[in-house]
């Protein structure tokens, strides 16, 4: 018994490099070998995001308007944000909704967002300029001003698309004049980029624009109050949210494939925490025994 306790006590101080190696294996093995796995349970906030887009498509007036997909991520968070972005764009394209790609946190965001739209456009026969448009990149310092101006004159505020064509020359913009011609704001982001939309755009028109949020898992929790306060109509939380959304759409994307690695790594951490605590209690017990002896 004592030998067993001593073994557990030693497990309390596993060298960190062994922890790192274990983690690398937990992540890498499921990627190298395709593991079958069950579908996730869909969370209410993900379902609500899905329903928001569905109801826009069903509304004869709203479905004619333009959605804004703001892709504020960079290469660092591709795994989460790109997967979310693909799921959203796929959904919009399935429902034949028009949308604009836009970014203001990093110029990379615009490039990445545009690349996703271009890739899926082939599949859904979307045509640039009439089904979707690229509003370009706006430097973060200027976003406040840009959005304030866009409230009354959207094409005027953004002026040109990323290729330099005047927005007014594109067929998709024919019906888009002001904030009232926007039916949805999608914010895909790894950072604090939601406030400009909420402060200067969402409620600047005749009625609030449905706004949905696709943050990395770390940014999500602090925004739950906004779901309750009605400032957000849905949220796709990190890679898990993307995987749930893929379930709703019935597709197998990266969200689904990465799921096994996610599960294993979480399991590893929980086991390690368990081991560490057992070790601590075992040590206390040993010490007490020694104290008695």
Residues numbered 84 to 103 that lie near another protein (CB under 8 A) are: none
- Binding residues for another protein restricted to 8-27, rule: CB under 8 A: 14, 16-17, 19-20, 23-24, 27
**Interface mask toward another protein for 51-70; x: CB under 8 A:** --------------------
Q: Is 28 in the site for another protein (CB under 8 A)?
A: yes
End-to-end CA distance of the chain: 16
CB of 85 to another protein, least distance (A): 14
Torsion angles phi and psi, residue 170, rounded to 5? -90, 135
Yes or no: say if 172 and 178 are a contact pair by the CB < 8 Å rule: no
CB of 245 to another protein, least distance (A): 14
CB of 72 to another protein, least distance (A): 14
Q: Is 218 in the site for another protein (CB under 8 A)?
A: yes
**Tokens standing for residue 278:** 């057992």
Yes or no: say if 251 and 94 are a contact pair by the CB < 8 Å rule: no
Binding-site member from 141, 164, 290, 292 for another protein (CB under 8 A): 141
Yes or no: say if 282 and 8 are a contact pair by the CB < 8 Å rule: yes
124: nearest Cα among 155, 97, 162: 97
CA 43 to each of CA 55, 82, 237: distance values in angstroms, whole numbers, following the listed order:
18, 20, 9
Binding-site member from 7, 127, 145, 165 for another protein (CB under 8 A): 145
**Tokens standing for residue 106:** 């990093």
Considering the complex, state which of residue 26 and residue 172 has its C-beta at the smaller distance from another protein. 26
- Binding residues for another protein restricted to 262-281, rule: CB under 8 A: 262-270, 272-273, 276-277, 280
């Amino acid at each position: 018994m004592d030998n067993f306790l001593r073994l557990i006590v030693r497990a309390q101080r596993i060298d960190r490099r062994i922890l790192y190696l274990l983690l690398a294996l937990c992540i890498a093995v499921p990627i190298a070998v395709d593991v079958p796995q069950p579908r996730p349970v869909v969370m209410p906030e993900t379902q609500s995001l899905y329903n928001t887009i569905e109801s826009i498509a069903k509304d004869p007036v709203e479905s004619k308007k333009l959605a804004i997909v703001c892709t504020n991520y960079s290469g660092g968070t591709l795994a989460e944000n790109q997967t979310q972005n693909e799921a959203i764009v796929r959904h919009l394209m399935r429902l034949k909704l028009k949308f604009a790609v836009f970014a203001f946190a990093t110029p990379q965001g615009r490039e990445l967002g545009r690349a996703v739209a271009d890739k899926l456009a082939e599949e859904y026969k979307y045509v640039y300029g009439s089904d979707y448009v690229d509003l370009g990149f706006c430097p973060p310092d200027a976003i406040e001003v840009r959005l304030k101006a866009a409230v009354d004159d959207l094409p005027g505020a953004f002026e040109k698309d990323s290729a330099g064509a005047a927005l007014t020359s594109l067929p998709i913009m024919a019906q888009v004049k002001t904030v009232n011609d926007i039916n949805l704001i999608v914010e895909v982001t790894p950072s604090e980029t939601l406030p400009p939309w909420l402060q200067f755009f969402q409620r600047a028109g005749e009625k609030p624009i449905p706004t949905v949020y696709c943050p990395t898992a770390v940014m999500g929790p602090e925004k739950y109050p906004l779901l309750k306060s009605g400032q957000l109509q849905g949220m796709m939380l990190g890679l898990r949210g993307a995987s749930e959304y893929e379930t709703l759409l019935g597709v197998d994307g990266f969200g689904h494939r990465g799921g096994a690695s996610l599960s294993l790594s979480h399991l590893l951490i929980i086991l390690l925490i368990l081991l560490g605590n057992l070790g601590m209690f075992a040590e206390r017990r040993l010490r007490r025994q020694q104290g008695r002896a």
